[in-house]
């Protein structure tokens, strides 16, 4: 294994914690920052600084929508944030959740993964719900640009089950099909460049749908830890040994940023969260 998959696995073996960069209006206000591009910039760069200084986290996930809401000025901030993450040696996952077909999807893939793009990230989140085949341009781009993509599979939003839990003609589920298709794509690649997005608060849904997440060979990005209600013990029950194997990226956004704006409080919170996850998931 080499390139982006190897870098991510190394980062996650050190700590499964992924810090979300979410410049939400409420978070900016709690830091005493204006709800402007400048406020989002200071919020994001200070969080990045705390992640780097902690020595206990190497993965970050900017939520694209919370920069995009400022238009071109917000995208300029996001470009700076992604460049700063690269400079700091952090693995950056652009949480864009793009999903389309044909040349449009190829455009999205290039925007978030191409080395020529100012928005280049190490990985991007994508939606397969126009059919898994719609992700073909992304599957090509992750190899061409040495990137990765995380495919929405089993999310914890209340209306997700309407689509994800729906049963297919063979008695399986739509979410199960997504997981199987991602696994099949990884099986014929030189490295597992497709990961999954699975909510940490889905409870027993994976088991009830017959989806064996512990057997998925690629990485899994799981939001919902901390402020959204999932504990480290919940993660162990849902994902088995994936955390100890460097395959689980556990996102915490408000659980970390809510400790700011104090730099020392942010660093200490990152260390506590990393230690909590390491103990529960069996990470050395």
CATH number of domain containing 116: 3.20.20.70
Residue 276 has pLDDT above 60, yes or no: yes
Is residue 254 one of the residues assigned to a domain?
yes
CA 23-27-30 angle, 5° bins: 145
Give the pLDDT confidence score for residue 230 in this predicted structure.
79
Does a structural domain hold residue 284? no
Q: Is residue 239 part of a domain?
A: no
pLDDT at 204: 84
Confidence label for 227 from pLDDT (cuts 50, 70 and 90) = low
Known catalytic residues are 97
| pLDDT, tens digit, 9 for 90 and up, residues 33-81 | 999 999 999 999 999 999 999 999 999 999 999 999 999 999 999 999 9
Residue 23 CB-half CA count within 13 A: 30
- Residue 273 three-state SS: helix
pLDDT for 233: 77
Whole-number average pLDDT of the chain = 93
Q: CB under 8 Å to 188, separation ≥6 — which residues?
A: none
- What's the pLDDT score for residue 156? 84
Q: Which residue has the higher pLDDT, 79 or 206?
A: 79
* Per-residue pLDDT reduced to its tens digit, 126-171: 999 999 999 999 999 999 999 999 999 999 888 988 999 999 999 8
Quick one: average pLDDT of 178-204? 93
Please determine, for residue 241, whether its predicted confidence score (pLDDT) is greater than 80.
yes
Decide if 208 is inside a domain.
Answer: yes
Decide: 31 and 5 in contact? Cβ < 8 Å.
Answer: no
Res. 1 pLDDT band, cuts 50 70 90: low
* pLDDT at 195 (0 to 100): 98
**pLDDT over 60 (residue 7):** yes
Q: Does residue 224 carry a pLDDT above 90?
A: no
Angle between helices 232-239 and 263-281 (to 10 degrees): 40
Asked if the structure places residue 236 within a domain, the reply is no
Q: Can you give the residue range of the structural domain that contains 14?
A: 3-228+246-279
Q: 0.75 cut: is pTM over it?
A: yes
Q: Which pLDDT score is estimated for 232? A: 76
Number of domains within the chain? 1
Q: Which residue has the higher pLDDT, 232 or 275?
A: 275
Sequence-ordered list of residues with C-beta below 8 angstroms from that of 134, at least 6 positions apart, any chain: 99, 100, 101, 105, 128
């Amino acid at each position: 294994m080499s390139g982006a998959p190897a870098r991510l696995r190394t980062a996650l073996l050190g700590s499964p914690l992924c810090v979300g960069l979410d410049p939400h209006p409420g978070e900016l206000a709690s830091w005493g920052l204006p709800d402007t591009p400048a406020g989002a910039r200071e919020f994001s760069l200070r969080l990045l600084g705390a992640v780097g200084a902690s020595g206990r986290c190497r993965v970050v996930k900017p939520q694209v929508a919370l920069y995009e809401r400022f238009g071109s000025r917000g995208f300029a901030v996001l470009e700076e944030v992604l460049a700063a993450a690269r400079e700091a040696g952090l693995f950056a996952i652009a949480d864009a959740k793009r999903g389309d077909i044909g040349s449009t999807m190829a455009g999205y893939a290039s925007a978030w993964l191409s080395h020529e793009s100012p928005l280049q990230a190490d990985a991007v989140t994508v939606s397969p719900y126009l059919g898994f085949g719609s992700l073909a341009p992304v599957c090509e781009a992750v190899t061409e640009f040495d990137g990765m993509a995380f495919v929405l599979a089993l999310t914890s939003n209340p209306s997700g089950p309407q689509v994800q839990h729906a049963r297919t003609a063979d008695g399986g589920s739509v979410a199960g099909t997504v997981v199987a298709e991602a696994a099949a794509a990884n099986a014929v690649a030189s490295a597992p460049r497709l990961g999954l997005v699975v909510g940490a608060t889905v409870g027993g849904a994976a088991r009830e749908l017959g989806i064996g997440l512990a057997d998925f060979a690629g990485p899994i990005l799981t939001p919902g830890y901390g402020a959204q209600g999932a504990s480290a013990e919940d993660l162990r029950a849902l994902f088995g040994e994936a955390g100890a194997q460097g395959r689980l990226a556990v996102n915490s956004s408000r659980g970390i940023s809510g400790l700011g704006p104090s730099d020392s409080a942010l660093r200490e919170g990152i260390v506590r969260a990393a230690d909590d996850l390491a103990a529960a998931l069996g990470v050395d």
